[in-house]
Structures are given as C-alpha cells and as structure tokens.
Structure 1
Amino acid sequence: MKLSRKTFETQVELEFEPYGKGQYDIQTPIPFFTHMLEQFAKHGRFNLTLTVTGDDPHHIIEDVGILLGKAFNDSLPDKTGIERFADSLIPMDETLVQIAIDLSGRSYLAFNATFPTTITSGFETEWCLEFMTAFLQNAKMALHITTLAGKNTHHMLEAIFKGTAITLRRALMITSDSLPSTKGVL
C-alpha cells in the first residue's frame, strides 16, 4: 500500500505491507524517531518505506502516525481470520512495558506511561503519545500502553515501539477462517 500526505508543515511518502519480513528504509529528520520506526518495522515484521520532510518535530511525528495508521487500516479491509486481540510484556534491560491491542475498528488509547526524563536523544517523551494517538485513531484500534518498570527513558520508549509492533503482529495472525466478532463486522 502506497500513501502520501502533504501539508503546509510536512511531506510524507509511505509504502507499507503488514505481512512482510521486517524490511525497512526510513528517512526522517528526527534520528531517534527514525530508530523507533525501524524497531517498529523490524519487530512487527512489517515492510515499511518512509520518507519525511518537515519543519517541526511535532507535526512530523503526528503526520507519520496519521499516515501509518491509515496504511495499516486500509491494508486490512476484511480482517477475516485475524486473531484480533493480543498482549505482550516487553522487557528491555531494567524496563518492563505492557501492551494490549484490540483490532476492533474502534479507536481508544490508554497511555499509562511515566518516564524518568522528558527528553532522550533529542526526542521529547510527549511525542510518543502524539505518535501513538495519531496512529491508533487512523488504524482504528484500541491500544493500552503501561510502563511497569524502567529507569532509562530510551529503553522505555524503545520497548513501547517494539512492544506495539510485536503485539500488532500477534493480533494480525491468521488463526481461523471467520471474522472474530459476533457483530459480523470489525
């Protein structure tokens, strides 16, 4: 799936495949964000090509979240056979993060994350919330993120991005031939 988004603040070009091999080519003007998206693609086994230009980190991060969420949702039009629900506990050294996802077609975020610092590697921790909000609203899913332990903000953010990807991969597993809903629609 190829998508693009152009605003007065950003230009985003994206190519996304949810059932990929974790291949990526990601270029953003925010090195730590690029690193997080690489982790997301690798651990979710999503193929992701992304080129971003822009004048403000907040706008860049939000617009990437919007477009990636839209690509994710649009690439799964039917959802027949997917597992739908998944959760993960992700350790990274001293850090422990819990992620739970429901690919319900309804957007909801519970972000229970606290960090020891507000900035790591030039990345403001509030940008994680901005990205996840934009992503899940456009992916149309419920996402719960809880930091259970951690002393290193870098590790905590990385565990959130890796954990979200791993949990998405698990929710996308094809485990039946029916739609996982009594309503008949997701």
Structure 2
Amino acid sequence: MSEQTRPSRTGRVERVTKESSVLVEVDLDGTGTVDISTGVGFYDHMLAQLGKHGLLDLTVKTEGDVHIDAHHTVEDTAIALGEALRQALGDKAGIRRFGDALVPLDETLVQVAVDLAGRPYCVHTGEPEGQAYVVIGGDYVGSLTRHAVESIASNAAIALHVRVLAGRDPHHIVEAQFKALGRALRDAVAWDPRVVGVPSTKGSL
C-alpha cells in the first residue's frame, strides 16, 4: 500500500456511565503528542508513556468517582482506549500485525508481545509478590495495572502478553509495562510495504 493510498487511522470514543465520563482520541500515525487528564496523576503519567513510546497522538479526558477510589477511572479509561484503538485499526490491511518489545527501566525488565488478530486475549505474569497491593502516587494501586492491560486487550480485540522479567521498584515495574506496550503496539501497527491486503491467510482480522 502506497503512502498516497493509506487511510487515516484515528479513533474517537466517548463513554459515559454513572461511575465515569471518558473521552479518548487516538491517531496511530502520530508523533507521541499526548494530552491526558484522568484525575489519577500516576495513571496520567503511565498513559503518557504509552503514547510517547508508541508514537500515538493520544488525548484522554476522564472524570471519574475518584472520591471512592481510582478503580473505575482506570478501568473505564482503558476500556475506551481499547475501543479507540480498535476503531483506528480499521481493516488492518498493509500492517505488520505482530509486535514485541523488551524494555529495561533500571533494575526492571519487561517483555510485551502483541497480535492484532481480532481475538481478545491477555496474559499478564511475573509481577513480584505484593506488587498488586502497593499504592503508588497516592491513589494508584498496583493491581490496577492488570485491570488496565486486560481492558485494553479485550476492547481492542488483540492478543497481549505482558511479562515482568525482573524488578523491585513498584513504580518502575508499572512504567516499564506501559512503555513496552507502547513500543510493541508501535511495531504491530506499522505499515509494511510488502504486505498485500490483510496479513492473514483467512483474509480478515
């Protein structure tokens, strides 16, 4: 597929429930420009890593019931992000489809692999014991990372494997996961000039 015939790959999702109001806009062919506000500062930082290292132009505006806790805000934002990614991917013609990344952050090492197969599946392993109960940045509980990546995978309809291979610092363990996810997505959504049509023997993804 030539550059002249490539479609615009953007997604826009608004999701409103009694627990949150979410707007997500994504451009797969961006430069990593982000504008993010969820009311959960550490989560804002993580989504910024995803956009920056995935070269996704990403706008996220969430108002959630953070007076209760961050769970609904994090999960609902991830659901909308997954839906926006799925929308932006379109028919997936001409892309690589598979992507992976091995990302270090000081003592932490994370591996992420993704398949834009149209079939949702998530494997999330390797976090050290106790990571799920650590509070980071005042209101982000470590267990929310799994909820976020599972929600993205399910709603984007992608197969996603996230493996924490090493790590001690709770902040680094989460951040490396979002950076690696960004890098893997960047690889998977990239145009491949040698790919004719959809990269599947089925003819669709």
Report the TM range for the smaller structure's normalisation: over 0.9
Greater Rg by CA: 2
Deviation at residue 178 of structure 1 after TM alignment: 2.5
Question: Match of 1:78, SS?
Answer: coil
Look up the match of 2:63.
53
Look up the match of 1:24.
34
80, 102, 112: which one pairs with 1:67? 80
Aligned pair count reads 186
Could you report, residue by residue, the CA deviation over 1:97-131 in whole angstroms, capped at 9, with x for unpaired residues?
01011100000011003135422223211100111
Look up the match of 2:188.
171
CA RMSD, 1 decimal:
1.1
Deviation at residue 81 of structure 1 after TM alignment: 1.1
User: What is the rounded CA distance, in whole Å, between the counterparts of 1:169 and 1:2 in structure 2?
Assistant: 18
Look up the match of 2:154.
137
Deviation at residue 177 of structure 1 after TM alignment: 2.8
User: What is the rounded CA distance, in whole Å, between the counterparts of 1:141 and 1:15 in structure 2?
Assistant: 19
Could you report, residue by residue, the CA deviation over 1:111-168 in whole angstroms, capped at 9, with x for unpaired residues?
0031354222232111001111111101000000111111111111000000001100
Matched, 1:183 2:190: no
Deviation at residue 76 of structure 1 after TM alignment: 1.3
Consecutive unaligned residues of structure 1, counting only runs of 5 or more, are none
Could you report, residue by residue, the CA deviation over 1:31-74 in whole angstroms, capped at 9, with x for unpaired residues?
00000001111110101111111114111111111111000001
1:40 partner amino acid: L
User: What is the rounded CA distance, in whole Å, between the counterparts of 1:164 and 1:128 in structure 2?
Assistant: 12
TM-score (norm 1): 0.96
After TM superposition, the structure 1 stretch with the greater mean CA deviation from structure 2, 108-117 or 167-176, is 108-117
1:183 partner amino acid: K
> Matches of residues 1-186 of structure 1 in structure 2 within 5 Å?
1-56=11-66, 57-115=70-128, 117=131, 118-122=134-138, 123-175=140-192, 176-186=195-205
